[in-house]
Homo-oligomer: A and B are copies of this chain.
Amino acid sequence: MSKIVTLQQSIMAEDERFAAAIRESNERRGLLMVNMIGSPGCGKTTILERTAQSSGLSFGVIEGDLATNRDAERLDRLGVPVVQVNTHGGCHLEANVIEKAMESLPLDSLDVLFVENVGNLVCPAEFDLGEDFKAALLSTPEGADKPLKYPYLFSSSKVVLLTKVDLLPYLPFDMKMFSEDVKKLNPEAPVIPMNGMTGEGVEEWTKLLREKIREKKAHAR
């Protein structure tokens, strides 16, 4: 196992230079960047669709998938500027690809740039893309035991979006354990319950984004 760790570290060192360059360029612009991380099908694209429909924010999206353009097409239909990155087997996005993708987006006219990472709770959490913060998404059917099983994502994110709360009546989801486990890993992170079908939670999510955007713009150089 030690061999693998060494290799990952050397990739990361290489990639940290790209992440630092992205961070600096976003700071100059006052552009907020959010790295959205969650399992396949947890609702990442749906939350972005709802955000497009009701937040009033101007945002762009970099979509990461192993294959297909389906998610990018969903956002494009709503008029969101979007770049699809297909990783062809790669389990996460890396900063060098993000830098390239950003060249195709109208960055100066955006309030926020979302990266929808590859559906995976593990590897995407470990790679810095130059973002301001990570948002961890968990859908209720995945189960309340996931924060402790994927601790790095939940401890390193600034907000936890609990999606598909409309399914709670049909699921053995222990909300008390979930909330306690998230608090143990990350006492500061708010948990926002969301329902992509009705738009529940989008208002709270938008409020959090507006605060972060304001802070970012205030510090633009």
Contact = CB atoms under 8 A, between A and B. Distances in A.
Interface residues of A, number: 45
A4 interface: yes
Contact of A120 (B3, B42, B120, B126): B120
A11 interface: yes
A94 B166 CA distance: 37
A143 interface: yes
A79 interface: no
Contacts of A67: 148-151
A120 B91 contact: yes
Contacts of A187: none
Contacts of A142: 39-42
A70 to B, nearest CB: 6
A196 B151 CA distance: 26
Contacts of A87: 1
The CB with the most chain B CB atoms within 10 A, among A4, A40, A149, A164, is that of A40
A196 B131 CA distance: 39
Interface in A140-162: 141-143, 145-146, 148-152
Contacts of A149: 40, 65-68, 70, 119
Contact of A170 (B3, B146, B150, B167): B167
What are the 3 closest A-B residue pairs judged by CB atoms, nearest first? A41-B142, A91-B122, A141-B141
